[in-house]
Structure 1
Amino acid sequence: MVRQTRRVIVDHDSSGKAVVTSDGPTPNVKLRQATGITSTQLWVTDRAQPDLSSGEDMSLRDVGVAPPANGNILRIVDFPPVSEMKAVDNAAMLKEMGLSADSHGGAASRSAFMHRTKSIDYAIVLEGEIDMLMDDTEVHLKAGDILIQKATNHAWVNNSKANCRIAFVLIDAQEPPAWKQTPGH
């Protein structure tokens, strides 16, 4: 029996705010009859053509949180419980992350961790649990859940007592029209 995968998609509503647009089992699951392997397709994009000719270890590049133009990033992030973290200075955090000051963080936001990147992000919760805050709402994720985020304003907050580990794939994207409807742009 195949275990269902929870998939959460976060996009913009008609006013440009971050919202959950889908939350439930992944709809595209195929049993490959010839092999007995089950394939769960979570999301597809139609552009990305990296140069594979270099033998360089691309993980050694110093990049911020957002992927390079026309590029992508695969990373694993460990989020300690918020109770173990020091107070966050949003401006310093954004600078360290390589993001501009108009990345939607700061005093007017729900959390000092609020930020956004011009990317589509695939977040796979490997262990633990975490809350992803959006403009007016939040979604709680547990190990095995997958979130697909489309350049929305958000913050990751671990309210549990244990570490949360997430694998992220961030793919550079066009600036979404919703950004023009929100402050800072």
Structure 2
Amino acid sequence: MIRRIVTVNDKDGASTFSSDGLSPWCASFKSIPGFEVSMLWATDASDSPAEADFPDSGEGPRSWVPGPGGSLVVVVTFPPVSVMMSDQFDGMAAHREQMEKLPGLAERFEAENPGMHCTPTLDYGVLLSGKICLELDNGQTRDLQAHDVVVQRGTRHAWRNPGPHPATVLFVMLGSASSR
């Protein structure tokens, strides 16, 4: 679970803390042991930074892909790829659970190339812990270690964790008008 601290200006203009607690929306996936996501903040194009507010309700987000001018801050823990290679792994159950819990994003995953997807966003990804591999078209890959940063510019990609331990990545996603 991720702790989220939010600040705001009070009615007199002084900065203050408006909340301090766990991420308002976190999910783990029964069908993909070790896969966890936490959405920490979201804005749309009409929000100004000082006025943007994120509902702390128990409802899940409407979309995991920000629209043009919107943003999301998400932390994802990827289990080792061995979880998906296990004889007990049920790909259809995983797909159904992702469709339920990751609206807007899950439908962008390619059935014929598991994990590959493309979003109309500019993403800044920071590997917080573990090791992970970024795969692009034509089998191009880069191995990342903790504290490496990826600037993902709306390209088709997949995240693969070939190691034995989970990998946790912080993503800041900025929505663009691209229709890809």
Aligning the two structures, in what range does the TM-score lie when normalised by the shorter sequence? Answer: 0.5 to 0.7
The Cα of 1:167 is off from its aligned counterpart by 0.4
1:50 aligns with 2:53: no
d(CA) in 1 for partners of 2:118 and 2:107?
9
The Cα of 1:153 is off from its aligned counterpart by 0.8
- TM-score between the two structures when normalised by the length of structure 2: 0.59
The Cα of 1:132 is off from its aligned counterpart by 1.2
User: Hey, what does 1:95 align to over in structure 2?
Assistant: 99
1:152 to 155, 158, 179: 155
Amino acid at match of 1:75: V
Given that residues 65 and 105 in structure 2 are in contact (C-alpha distance below 8 angstroms), is that contact kept between their aligned partners in structure 1?
A: no
Instruction: Tell me how many residue pairs correspond in the alignment.
Output: 127
Matches within 5 A, 1:31-180: 50-52=47-49, 54=51, 56-58=53-55, 60=57, 62-85=61-84, 86-89=89-92, 92=96, 95-96=99-100, 97-99=102-104, 103=108, 105-107=110-112, 109=113, 112-136=114-138, 137-175=140-178, 179=180
Higher-RCO chain (CA-CA 8 Å, sequence separation at least 6) = 1
The Cα of 1:51 is off from its aligned counterpart by 2.4
The Cα of 1:116 is off from its aligned counterpart by 1.0
Amino acid at match of 1:144: H
The Cα of 1:82 is off from its aligned counterpart by 1.2
The Cα of 1:139 is off from its aligned counterpart by 1.3
State the identity %.
25
Given that residues 122 and 168 in structure 1 are in contact (C-alpha distance below 8 angstroms), is that contact kept between their aligned partners in structure 2?
A: yes
d(CA) in 2 for partners of 1:64 and 1:104?
14
Q: CA RMSD in A?
A: 2.9
- TM-score between the two structures when normalised by the length of structure 1: 0.57
Q: Show structure 1 runs of 5+ residues with no match.
A: 1-47, 180-185
